[in-house]
Amino acid sequence: MLLELDHVSKIYGDLHAVDDLSLSVAQGEWLAIVGSSGSGKTTLMNIIGCLDTPSSGSVTLEDRALNDLNAGQLADVRKNVIGLVFQKFYLVPHLTAVENVMVAQYYHSVVDEGQAMEALRKVGLEERAHHLPGQLSGGEQQRVCIARALINCPKLILADEPTGNLDGANEKIVLDLFRQLHEQGTTIIVVTHDALVASCAQREIMLNHGVLVAERWNDEEARKASEARGGTTAVVRPEGASDDAAADQGNEGGGVFVDPTKAAKTGGTTR
Amino acid sequence: MKGRRGRFGMGTMTNGRMFTIMILSAVFRRRSRAVMAVIASTVGAATLFCLAAVCIAVPQQMSEDMRSYGANLIVTPVESASSSANGVDAAMVTHTTEMVEAKTPAKVATYRYETVRINSASYIMAGIDSAKVKAINHHWSVQGSWPAPGKVMVGSDVASALGLKIGGDITIAYRAADNGGGASGASASASSSASSTAAPSASSKDGRVSTDILEEGGTSFTVGGIVDTGGSEDEIVYATAADLDKLAGGARGADLIEYSAEASGSALQSIADSINAMTSMGVKAQTVTKINTANSRIITMLQTLFWLVSVVVLVLTFVGVGTTMTSIVSQRRNEIGLRKALGAPSAGVGTEFYAESPMYGLFGGVLGTVLGYGLARVLCAMVFERALPMNWPLAAVSVLCSIFIAVIATIRPVRKASRIDPAVVLREE
């Protein structure tokens, strides 16, 4: 397994942002984390991305326990293993597209403009390489952000609402890029509100108030492959269920899976 | 849309080159923010340079002006020496002057005093080099002209007593008998004066030496000018040294050497001491303490004022630049969080800002120094009526100060920035 979370909780005072969550993600898997606002998606992503540490439980990335690492060591893991894609892009406004990509190289190892240009070519932005972010459209900025995430060949791409600020056309371009990365064997974890984006993933998990309440495999072959590799599905605790009940339900993945976007709009639930 | 290739050049990219690009981009592609930091540095540097330049130039001007109000060091023959009656010969004047100028630049003038007869009454006549005496005594109020060949300048008391007008004629006679002790008497009188140019304080009213002997004859001179100083100079008749030599029937040494030296206080006293230590020279030196002390006090006061104002300006500049840098760092909070999320160590983030802030200090320092020089030049021209030359060492100090202040003012905001939690970048929605 590339990533394993074992009974991870993140507690702020009385608030359980992530509550006793266990999860395994295999190398090359595409996982979508869905849930309404405040469900703990971003907190979970910060923990997985080594930007935050859990209050309890353990996180293992590439068989390396992250709990005992200090800030500097976590930064090393972050730059060596993880590629980050943000909803708001977070490009450095005074650097050109290619320079923004090279910033990731700069902090990782050695700057190579040729590689940076190649990454931009992959996302279809070679011609826009020397434009400042302010001169690029939202979709183009997100593609620069993806090129920056890819440049150091990370094993895990963490994307937080990557299509949240994009129109339909640009959303399709970004999802196609993720598909290509997935086909190349890159592990992708996407946090999203969007059912369409989530459905592109092999597996979806749903959070509610920090609790993993549902899991759904969109790719049966992937599920079987995962099980064949000895992988386990997430421990799902239906809302209101006790820990024992959740344990009884085990890895069945039988929670009610709600389209968060539709549920938010209608107040109802759908399967 | 046109791209930005080539602004900082790409060439072969290295980490060092990337670092340079990041710093230059932050400065030149974010001009509005950079301009604020540069303006803060510029204002500080301009104020500092202007004040410093004026405060350095003004004491110099004061010192020069003070020296033009008379000598601050006088040298007379030693009374008991055999050379006293013949004055200080030219070689000794040169030697003494060399001793003074070895320690500080100085202006020099010599005086030969003789007793002469005008309308049978005795007066003191001084043989001088007009240009040199004028250079030391700017404060003398002279109507008409200074002594020239055939022309004398009479003291206002003498002119009043004799009813002399500028352009009128005056007949002056020299009697050797009058000068048996006249020269030395004048010299002695000169050496006892500590606050003026040490002209002889003649023993009588209006500069006349009492006599009942009526004498006729003499040399005719034109009254070229009338001098009024309010001091003993008003009782003397001034002629060129050559005219007095001719009138007296021969040349002899000076009865008094005046120096307007650029030294003051203990430095000036040490010059006098060094001359007095050379007893074989047959001369005695003494400082004119009144002007010297006033000079020192004013200069010290101005220098103290300079330091006080400079410290205030430095503090204000520090606050201004610090506030601007804090604002810049605050505005780049997300960028700092992003860099840390990408794996930048806290020290790396700090290094980038520490490399950026000196550039603001450099640009602001250079601009401010140029501006400050312009202001100081205008100020000196308007208030002190003198040109202000560029003080390059001060300019270098001004620029270095700006850079130093920019770096120091960056420490606190950068420390704060380096503690930013990168997770905030992801938390923001």
Phi first, then psi, for residue B129 (nearest 5°) are -100, 110
The answer as to whether B394 is a domain residue is yes
Q: Which of B237, B241, B209, B242 is nearest to B223 (CA)?
A: B237
| Same structural domain, B250 and B338 | no
Tell me the average pLDDT of chain A: 83
Residues of chain B short of pLDDT 50, as ranges, are 1-7, 10, 81, 181-205, 207-214, 429
- Contact assignment for B423 to A46 by CB distance below 8 Å: yes
The answer as to whether B91 is a domain residue is yes
- Contact assignment for A131 to B1 by CB distance below 8 Å: yes
Task: Give me the residue from A86, A94, A113 closest to B10, CB to CB.
Answer: A113
- Contact assignment for B15 to A111 by CB distance below 8 Å: yes
Q: Which of B111, B74, B107 is nearest to B253 (CA)?
A: B111
* CB-based burial, B165-187: b 16+ in 10 Å, e otherwise: ebeeebebbbbeebbeebbbbbb
Q: Which of B145, B63, B74 is nearest to B111 (CA)?
A: B74
Residues contacting B199, CB < 8 A, separation 6+? B111, B113, B124, B126, B189, B190, B193, B231, B232, B233, B235, B236
Cβ atoms of A36 and A263 closer than 8 Å: yes
Q: A95 and chain B: CB distance < 8 Å anywhere?
A: yes
Number of Cβ within a 10 Å radius of residue A221: 9
pLDDT of residue B188: 36
- Contact assignment for B18 to A94 by CB distance below 8 Å: no
| Same structural domain, A235 and A200 | yes
The Cα B153–Cα A223 span in angstroms is 121
Q: A131 and chain B: CB distance < 8 Å anywhere?
A: yes
- Contact assignment for A46 to B427 by CB distance below 8 Å: yes
ipTM above 0.90, yes or no: no
Residues of A within 8 A of B346 (CB-CB) are 71
Residue B73, strand partner residues: B259, B287
Tokens representing residue A66 in the block = 């992250």
pLDDT of residue B182: 42
| Same structural domain, A57 and A166 | yes
The Cα B164–Cα B172 span in angstroms is 13
Question: What is each CA distance from A160 to A271, B130, B249, B426, in whole angstroms?
Answer: 24, 93, 112, 8
Residue A157, strand partner residues: A83, A188
Residues A101-121 have pLDDT tens digits of: 999 999 998 999 999 999 999
- Contact assignment for A103 to B17 by CB distance below 8 Å: no
Q: Which of A264, A89, A209 is nearest to A161 (CA)?
A: A89
| Same structural domain, B57 and B138 | no
pLDDT of residue B365: 93
Q: A102 and chain B: CB distance < 8 Å anywhere?
A: yes
The answer as to whether B222 is a domain residue is yes
* Mutation choice for B interface testing from A37, A90, A117, A153 by most B CBs within 10 A: A90
pTM, entire model: 0.62
The answer as to whether B13 is a domain residue is no
Residues of A within 8 A of B25 (CB-CB) are 94-95, 99
Residues of A within 8 A of B1 (CB-CB) are 131, 135
| Same structural domain, B409 and B303 | yes
| Same structural domain, B77 and B221 | yes
For every residue of chain A, which 3-state class applies, written as one string? CCEEEEEEEEEECCEEEEEEEEEEECCCCEEEEEECCCCCHHHHHHHHCCCCCCCEEEEEECCEECCCCCHHHHHHHHHHHEEEECCCCCCCCCCCHHHHHHHHHHHHCCCCHHHHHHHHHHCCCHHHCCCCHHHCCHHHHHHHHHHHHHCCCCCEEEEECCCCCCCHHHHHHHHHHHHHHHHCCCEEEEEECCHHHHHHCCEEEEEECCEEEEEEECCHHHHHHHHHCCCCCCCCCCCCCCHHHHHHHCCCCCCCCCCHHHHHHHCCCCC
Number of domains in chain A: 2
Question: Of the candidates B287, B319, B338, which is a domain's last residue?
Answer: B287
pLDDT of residue B205: 46
The Cα B371–Cα B170 span in angstroms is 59
- Contact assignment for A46 to B18 by CB distance below 8 Å: no
Question: Of the candidates B287, B319, B348, which is a domain's last residue?
Answer: B287
The Cα B177–Cα B115 span in angstroms is 10
| Same structural domain, A106 and A18 | no
pLDDT of residue B51: 83
The answer as to whether A79 is a domain residue is no
Cβ atoms of B118 and B95 closer than 8 Å: no
| Same structural domain, A134 and A234 | no
| Same structural domain, B165 and B218 | yes
Task: Give me the residue from A86, A92, A105 closest to B426, CB to CB.
Answer: A86
pLDDT (mean) for A157-180:
86
The answer as to whether A125 is a domain residue is yes
| Same structural domain, A242 and A132 | no
Tokens representing residue B80 in the block = 């008991």
**SS3 call for B329:** helix
Q: Which of B361, B174, B140 is nearest to B250 (CA)?
A: B174
Tokens representing residue B376 in the block = 């100081």
Residue A269: pLDDT over 80: no
The answer as to whether B59 is a domain residue is yes
Q: What distance in Å separates residue B342's CA from the closest CA in chain A? A: 6
DSSP H or E run through B282 = none
Residue A136: pLDDT over 90: yes
Domain with B397, as residue range(s), is 22-65+297-428
Residues of A within 8 A of B425 (CB-CB) are 86, 90
Residue of B nearest to A90 (CA): B338
Task: Give me the residue from B15, B18, B427 closest to A42, CB to CB.
Answer: B427
| Same structural domain, A129 and A249 | no
| Same structural domain, B219 and B352 | no
The answer as to whether B5 is a domain residue is no
pLDDT of residue A244: 44
- Contact assignment for B25 to A49 by CB distance below 8 Å: no
| Same structural domain, A149 and A194 | no
Question: Of the candidates A131, A153, A175, which is a domain's last residue?
Answer: A153
DSSP designation for B69 = B
Of the listed ranges A58-62, A155-159, A229-233, B344-348, the least confidently predicted one is A229-233
| % of chain A with per-residue pLDDT over 70 | 85
pLDDT of residue A157: 93
Chain B residues with CB-CB distance to A under 8 A? Answer: 1, 3-5, 10, 13-15, 17-19, 21-22, 25-26, 29-30, 334-335, 337-346, 348, 421-423, 425-429
Residues contacting A63, CB < 8 A, separation 6+? none
Question: Of the candidates A103, A127, A153, which is a domain's last residue?
Answer: A153
The answer as to whether A80 is a domain residue is no
pLDDT of residue B366: 95
Q: DSSP secondary structure string, B380-399?
A: IIIII-S-----HHHHHHHH
Q: A33 and chain B: CB distance < 8 Å anywhere?
A: no
Residue of B nearest to A116 (CA): B13
Domain with A52, as residue range(s), is 3-69+156-266
Question: Of the candidates B287, B305, B336, which is a domain's last residue?
Answer: B287
The Cα B130–Cα B135 span in angstroms is 8
Question: Exposed/middle/buried for B63, CB within 10 Å: 0-12, 13-18, 19+?
Answer: middle
| Same structural domain, B98 and B182 | yes
The answer as to whether A81 is a domain residue is no
| Same structural domain, A54 and A99 | no
Number of domains in chain B: 2
| Same structural domain, A166 and A231 | yes
Residues A195-218 have pLDDT tens digits of: 888 999 999 999 999 999 988 998
The Cα B371–Cα B403 span in angstroms is 17
Residues B3-51 have pLDDT tens digits of: 444 445 545 678 888 998 888 888 888 777 788 888 888 988 998 888 8
| Same structural domain, A33 and A46 | yes
Residues of A within 8 A of B338 (CB-CB) are 90, 92
pLDDT of residue B194: 35
Cβ atoms of B259 and B251 closer than 8 Å: no
The answer as to whether A76 is a domain residue is no
Q: A75 and chain B: CB distance < 8 Å anywhere?
A: yes
* Mutation choice for A interface testing from B426, B427, B428, B429 by most A CBs within 10 A: B426
- Contact assignment for B25 to A95 by CB distance below 8 Å: yes
- Contact assignment for A106 to B15 by CB distance below 8 Å: yes
Q: Strand order of the sheet with strand A30-35?
A: A82-85, A156-160, A187-192, A30-35, A203-208, A211-217
CATH classification of the domain holding A231: 3.40.50.300
| Same structural domain, B57 and B145 | no
| Same structural domain, A160 and A142 | no
Residues A89-100 have pLDDT tens digits of: 889 999 999 999
The Cα B11–Cα A103 span in angstroms is 16
The answer as to whether B2 is a domain residue is no
